[in-house]
Amino acid sequence: MIFLSAGIEKLTGYPASAFTGEDAMSYASLIHPDDRAKVSDDTNAAIRERRPFQLSYRITTAAGKLRWAWEQGAAVFDEQGNVEALEGFIADITVLRRADLLALEQASLLDKARDAIFVMDMSSRITYWNKGAERLYGWDAREAEGQRMSDLLCDDHAAYSEAYKTALDEGEWVGELHQHRRDGSPLHADTRWTVVPADPASGIPQKILVMSTDISERKSNEARIHRLAYFDALTDLPNRASLLDHLRRALLGSARSRKVGALMFLDLDNFKTLNDTHGHAAGDMLLQAVARRLEHSVREADMVARLGGDEFVILVQPDEESIETAAHHAETVAAKVVAAMRAPFQLADFMYSVSTSIGVTMISGALDTVESALKQADTAMYQAKAAGRNTFRFFDPDMQAKWTARSELESGLRRALRNHEFMLNYQPQLDGDSRVIGAEALLRWRLPNGEILYPTEFIKQAEETSLIVDIGRWVLGTACLELASWQRNPATRHLSLSVNVSARQFVEPDFVAMTQEILAATGVDPHGLKFELTETLVVTDFAHTVETMETLRRLGITFSLDDFGTGYSSLAYLRKLPLDQLKIDYSFMRDVLTDRNDASIVRSIIALGGSLGLQVIAEGVETQGQREWLSQAGCFVYQGYLYERALSGEHFARYAATLH
Ligand SMILES: Nc1nc2c(ncn2[C@@H]2O[C@H](COP(=O)(O)OP(=O)(O)OP(=O)(O)O)[C@@H](O)[C@H]2O)c(=O)[nH]1
């Protein structure tokens, strides 16, 4: 060696002087034996090619330690082109080499990990992709690196953005992501994102390390376990555990909302007979078919569960304001279930009919617990069995009494139609000169025991069922027959007859056709026929009402608005209706002489009728004083006890003939 700087001592532990002079030690001898050949080959090659060389090799220091050296140098040539000397510098790169090795070592460790591990930069581009990621996702490192994680893997971009934001805010995010593989197959991954601050001084995040584990199998196992725990394997319906869970939640919700729902307990009637006669498999088939029909009988929000055996439960969500309306709704559901069971079931190669007994109880979070609700519904179900099966019973005796009364009334109405228990009476309508100008047909129901019922006692109930349509048809037919008979008699041919038409009947799609049929069958002149409509009808469906009224008017029928002033009909509505008459409700007439409010309402109605060109008739006129007050106020048509009660057809015809 000709010259060495003092720095060599820091690297080798030997002073520079040790390498120069007579007994100098060879620097090359410090080079690790394994690296010597490469150092000499690389140096010679560089010299041959007359270019500088860079070498890295290990040396053994004076203290016997290994260090990494990095040498850059070049040969110095004399004029003949021979190597005169080598010059350059040597640096200690031990620390750098260690870091490199560590990185290499870590990368190979990451590759050995089973999990997918990848790194992305702050713009979501993947910068590292381990073997686990290749295995899990299917892309190799070359394909994945440089791509955005969100584009490459993620199906749910909102979830991805949320994860990214949380990772930046909190340094870490752990959660599940829906992803897909290279072949497009879906993947449920449990991921952990860690933000790696590259520069500890600035703290600016530069990379996000993502570890991802495939939990698809765990998820599908969980789903299977959930199904086993909460669903009945035979019918696929929610099971008892699920029902208890939903019922508890429904009660909690109802305690907050104060709304009322219902719980229905169903048990098939004589199910054992099917098992005994056709075998268990047939029984199973029936249970499955019943489950499907029950599901179709309830609303989406309501729940059908199988408790076990042939027992089912329907939970009607608490959605009603009162116990009464909830009971009414439950009754509709129960009736639907009974009807759904009516058609026989196809089981393998035979048809089978089954009925069900249903117990119903109302549920409200303020009053009930899961246990009490189930017990009550169960008790009510046994009452339904005791009552002969194929029916339903309410747990609450009051409710049961009301329901029984209603259902008795309903079957009574059916019988009345069949057995001709209805009759029409006619209350005369007179003009200012006390001449009879017509009548209002009033419905009466004569019970088999001779008792007479008035419409207020049964029409509302009839309106809640389709019975009103049949009753209305009978009323119209009978009234038209009567009117036709008046029209055949010269003394009564000028009379008009008012018939009450219920809203429910008027909106029936075939109401006009049915009316035409009756007109034709009875041969009545429709000009004598007046339909009395209520305000409710007008308000409910104005456009359709006007259309139907106009069609009927073209046939000659006229219209009166009944109960005028009691409802909500506005002037705007009134003006557009093709009316002929306004009727002052009897409730205003009662106190018209003493109550200033009633008097002023009646005066307004009369004035309104006048300005719209409508005839105004007052009903409920009972005294001469009322009649005189009315005529002074400008109303000249009257109906009421002052003249006559409602008379039988025969009576009326005689009465009218004498007063025309
Ligand atoms: N096929 C079938 N039968 C079952 C299953 N679970 C219970 N059963 C049978 O269902 C029948 C239940 O009968 P019960 O409800 O006690 O009596 P029922 O014959 O329906 O008579 P009532 O309820 O009094 O009208 C029993 O014979 C049980 O063996 C099942 O999963 N499949």
Is 646 found in the same domain as 577?
yes
Cα 373 to ligand 1 centroid, rounded to whole Å: 23
What is the rounded average pLDDT of the residues 489-508? 92
**Under a CB-based contact definition with an 8 Å cutoff, are residues 348 and 420 in contact?**
no
Residues 6+ apart with CB under 8 A from 584: 564, 565, 602, 605, 606, 616, 617, 618, 619, 635
**Last residue of a domain, which of 395, 418, 450?**
395
Flag whether pLDDT at 240 surpasses 90. Answer: yes
**Under a CB-based contact definition with an 8 Å cutoff, are residues 138 and 183 in contact?**
yes
Is 648 found in the same domain as 542?
yes
Q: How far apart are CA 106 and CA 209, in angstroms?
A: 13
What is the rounded average pLDDT of the residues 400-425? 88
Of all protein residues, the one whose alpha carbon is nearest to atom 26 of ligand 1 is 272
Domain CATH code at residue 623 = 3.20.20.450
With the most atoms of ligand 1 within 8 angstroms of its CB, the residue from 272, 285, 290, 389 to mutate is 272
ipTM above 0.95, yes or no: no
Question: Residue 3 has what pLDDT?
Answer: 79
Q: How far apart are CA 171 and CA 150, in angstroms?
A: 19
Domain CATH code at residue 255 = 3.30.70.270
Asked if residue 452 belongs to a domain, the reply is no
Of all protein residues, the one whose alpha carbon is nearest to atom 29 of ligand 1 is 272
Going by C-alpha positions, the residue among 26, 13, 19, 20 that lies closest to residue 61 is 13
Q: How far apart are CA 582 and CA 608, in angstroms?
A: 9
Give φ, ψ of 128 to 5 degrees: -145, 145
Of all protein residues, the one whose alpha carbon is nearest to atom 5 of ligand 1 is 309
Question: Residue 277 has what pLDDT?
Answer: 92
Cα 371 to ligand 1 centroid, rounded to whole Å: 23
**Under a CB-based contact definition with an 8 Å cutoff, are residues 212 and 190 in contact?**
yes
Is 252 found in the same domain as 202?
no
Residues 6+ apart with CB under 8 A from 76: 83, 84, 85, 86, 87
Give φ, ψ of 286 to 5 degrees: -65, -45
Of all protein residues, the one whose alpha carbon is nearest to atom 25 of ligand 1 is 269
Q: How far apart are CA 323 and CA 443, in angstroms?
A: 32
**Under a CB-based contact definition with an 8 Å cutoff, are residues 487 and 525 in contact?**
yes
Domains in the chain, number: 4
Flag whether pLDDT at 238 surpasses 90. Answer: yes
Question: Residue 219 has what pLDDT?
Answer: 87
The closest-lying atom of ligand 1 relative to the alpha carbon of residue 272 is: 19
Is 24 found in the same domain as 145?
no
Tens of pLDDT along 54-99? 888 999 999 999 898 888 888 988 888 888 888 888 888 887 777 6
**Last residue of a domain, which of 190, 219, 248?**
219
Going by C-alpha positions, the residue among 274, 266, 281 that lies closest to residue 311 is 266
Cα 309 to ligand 1 centroid, rounded to whole Å: 5
Residues at CB less than 6 angstroms from ligand 1:
234, 267-272, 275, 280, 283-284, 287, 309-310, 385, 389
Is 121 found in the same domain as 154?
yes
Is 505 found in the same domain as 639?
yes
Asked if residue 322 belongs to a domain, the reply is yes
Cα 360 to ligand 1 centroid, rounded to whole Å: 21
Flag whether pLDDT at 403 surpasses 80. Answer: no
Q: How far apart are CA 417 and CA 67, in angstroms?
A: 114
With the most atoms of ligand 1 within 8 angstroms of its CB, the residue from 239, 268, 271 to mutate is 271
Q: How far apart are CA 275 and CA 272, in angstroms?
A: 5
356-363 sheet: strands from edge to edge: 303-308, 311-320, 260-268, 356-363, 392-394
Cα 291 to ligand 1 centroid, rounded to whole Å: 15
Confidence of residue 199 (pLDDT cuts 50, 70, 90): low
Give φ, ψ of 145 to 5 degrees: -65, 135
Question: Residue 204 has what pLDDT?
Answer: 62
Is 41 found in the same domain as 77?
yes
Q: How far apart are CA 379 and CA 251, in angstroms?
A: 19
Asked if residue 462 belongs to a domain, the reply is no
The closest-lying atom of ligand 1 relative to the alpha carbon of residue 280 is: 1
Asked if residue 454 belongs to a domain, the reply is no
Is 501 found in the same domain as 621?
yes
Q: How far apart are CA 530 and CA 510, in angstroms?
A: 19
Query: Sign (positive/negative) of CA torsion 19, 20, 24, 28?
Result: positive
Q: How far apart are CA 241 and CA 250, in angstroms?
A: 14
Q: How far apart are CA 652 and CA 451, in angstroms?
A: 22
Cα 310 to ligand 1 centroid, rounded to whole Å: 5
What is the rounded average pLDDT of the residues 386-414? 85
Confidence of residue 565 (pLDDT cuts 50, 70, 90): low
Is 253 found in the same domain as 133?
no
**Under a CB-based contact definition with an 8 Å cutoff, are residues 237 and 231 in contact?**
yes
Asked if residue 103 belongs to a domain, the reply is no
Asked if residue 515 belongs to a domain, the reply is yes
Cα 270 to ligand 1 centroid, rounded to whole Å: 8
Domain CATH code at residue 169 = 3.30.450.20
The closest-lying atom of ligand 1 relative to the alpha carbon of residue 286 is: 1
Of all protein residues, the one whose alpha carbon is nearest to atom 32 of ligand 1 is 284
DSSP state of 455: G
The closest-lying atom of ligand 1 relative to the alpha carbon of residue 357 is: 25
Domain that holds residue 560: 429-441+468-658
Residue that has been written with the tokens 């018939």 in this structure: 499
Is 287 found in the same domain as 376?
yes
Question: Residue 171 has what pLDDT?
Answer: 84
Cα 290 to ligand 1 centroid, rounded to whole Å: 13
With the most atoms of ligand 1 within 8 angstroms of its CB, the residue from 310, 353, 382 to mutate is 310
DSSP state of 622: -
Through-space distance between the first and last CA atoms of the chain, rounded to whole angstroms:
153
CB atoms within 10 A of CB 34: 9
DSSP state of 65: -
Of all protein residues, the one whose alpha carbon is nearest to atom 21 of ligand 1 is 270
Is 330 found in the same domain as 291?
yes
Cα 287 to ligand 1 centroid, rounded to whole Å: 10
Cα 347 to ligand 1 centroid, rounded to whole Å: 17
Of all protein residues, the one whose alpha carbon is nearest to atom 13 of ligand 1 is 272
Question: Residue 405 has what pLDDT?
Answer: 82
What is the rounded average pLDDT of the residues 261-281? 94
Residues in the chain: 660
Cα 273 to ligand 1 centroid, rounded to whole Å: 8
**Last residue of a domain, which of 338, 369, 395?**
395
Cα 108 to ligand 1 centroid, rounded to whole Å: 65
Asked if residue 79 belongs to a domain, the reply is yes
Of all protein residues, the one whose alpha carbon is nearest to atom 11 of ligand 1 is 272
DSSP state of 147: S
Q: How far apart are CA 489 and CA 476, in angstroms?
A: 20
CB atoms within 10 A of CB 532: 17
The closest-lying atom of ligand 1 relative to the alpha carbon of residue 275 is: 1
Pairing of strands 53-60, 66-77: antiparallel
Is 495 found in the same domain as 572?
yes
Residues 6+ apart with CB under 8 A from 381: 265, 266, 267, 357, 358, 359, 393
Is residue 421 classed exposed, middle or buried when 0-12, 13-18 and 19+ CB atoms within 10 A define those classes? middle
> Angle at which helices 397-418 and 467-487 pack, to 10 degrees?
30
Tens of pLDDT along 178-196? 999 999 999 999 999 988 8
The closest-lying atom of ligand 1 relative to the alpha carbon of residue 276 is: 27
Flag whether pLDDT at 317 surpasses 90. Answer: yes
Is residue 436 classed exposed, middle or buried when 0-12, 13-18 and 19+ CB atoms within 10 A define those classes? buried
Asked if residue 534 belongs to a domain, the reply is yes
Cα 265 to ligand 1 centroid, rounded to whole Å: 15
Tens of pLDDT along 334-355? 989 988 998 999 998 899 999 9
Cα 279 to ligand 1 centroid, rounded to whole Å: 12
